[in-house]
């Protein structure tokens, strides 16, 4: 058979005393938990404000320096490729 646990051996008075102790512990701990909650909430607000500030700074930087015309870049790359090909052919002809 199973061995009875300690909780099963408690009398009704002992059980009530335990419950009262638990209630007292949690009640006394609430002020610390509330302080921790407020601390965590404040950290969250600070992080959100930092994120918004960085996001705005990035938007300002992008407006000040808009990305270059991509079509112009593609044309420049194609021209460079063509120049390299013709230079390579010239070198082969000289050999």
pLDDT digits (tens, 9 = 90+) for 5-61: 555 688 989 999 999 999 999 999 999 999 999 999 999 999 999 999 999 999 999
Query: Which structural domain, as residue segments, surrounds residue 59?
Result: 11-64
Query: Do 71 and 27 share a structural domain?
Result: no
pLDDT band at 79 (very low <50, low <70, confident <90, very high): confident
In tens, the pLDDT along 58-74 reads: 999 988 887 766 566 77
In whole angstroms, give the CA distance from residue 14 to residue 92: 101
Going by pLDDT thresholds of 50, 70 and 90, the confidence category of residue 95 is low
Say if 54 falls within a structural domain.
Answer: yes
Do 74 and 54 share a domain, yes or no?
A: no
Q: Measured at the alpha carbon of residue 79, what is the angle toward residues 75 and 80, in degrees to the nearest 5? A: 115
- pLDDT of 92 reads 55
Asked if residues 58 and 50 have their Cβ atoms less than 8 Å apart, the reply is no
């Amino acid at each position: 058979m199973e061995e009875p646990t300690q909780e099963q051996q408690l009398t009704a008075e002992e059980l009530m005393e335990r419950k009262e102790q638990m209630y007292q512990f949690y009640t006394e701990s609430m002020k610390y938990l509330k302080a921790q909650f407020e601390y965590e909430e404040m950290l969250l607000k600070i992080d959100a404000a930092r994120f918004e500030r960085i996001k705005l700074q990035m938007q300002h930087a992008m407006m000040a320096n808009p990305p270059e015309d991509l079509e112009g870049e593609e044309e420049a790359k194609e021209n460079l490729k063509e120049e390299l090909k013709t230079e390579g052919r010239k070198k082969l002809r000289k050999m």
